[in-house]
Amino acid sequence: MNDEFIKKCDALRASIEHHKRNLEDPKNAKISGVHCPCCIAFKGCDGCPVAIFTNETNCQDTPWGTLDLMESKMTLSEYKLGDVERFQEAERMEIQFLEWVYLDLITNPEQYLDQDERVRRAIEDLKIEWKQ
């Protein structure tokens, strides 16, 4: 596999671990993009496997939006038990979602390649085919 694919796998695994830490310690959870391993690795959404999976930017249509809203509420509240439990349930949903994206990435890697990489591979395949 190429370096970009490995970068996507590593960023997703790191994101899953990040959200598992948030689940275990909700009072110190870090939700914003500045703490997201995928956002950091891809400096936004360009090439991010979550953006490719959802065909959206800024983690739209993912459980992250719920977490972001809840974190703001929890930061301002006194961490009522119900808030923490709901936050942890949202974290579990985010972890499950990221695991689905990771599974899709490793089972359908071609869909996660950028257009230039697809063209390069097609040209290489044609060269191999032509030589035979």
Average pLDDT across each block of 10 residues of the chain; the chain has 132 residues. List them in order. 86 96 87 90 90 89 78 56 77 94 89 66 64 58
Residue 106 lies in domain? 3-131
Distance CA 101, CA 92 (A): 14
The pLDDT value recorded for residue 40 is 94
Q: Long-range contacts: 28-32, Cβ < 8 Å, 24+?
A: 29/71, 29/87, 29/91, 31/64, 31/67, 31/68, 31/71, 32/68
DSSP-assigned states of every residue in 35-66: G-HHHHHHTSSTT-HHHHHHT-STTTTSTHHH
Number of domains in the chain: 1
The pLDDT value recorded for residue 132 is 56
The pLDDT value recorded for residue 73 is 63
Distance CA 60, CA 36 (A): 15
Identity of residue 97 = F
The pLDDT value recorded for residue 76 is 47
Q: Give the contacts of 129 (CB within 8 A, at least 6 positions apart).
A: none
Return the structure tokens found at 74: 């929890």
The pLDDT value recorded for residue 71 is 65
Return the structure tokens found at 88: 């942890």
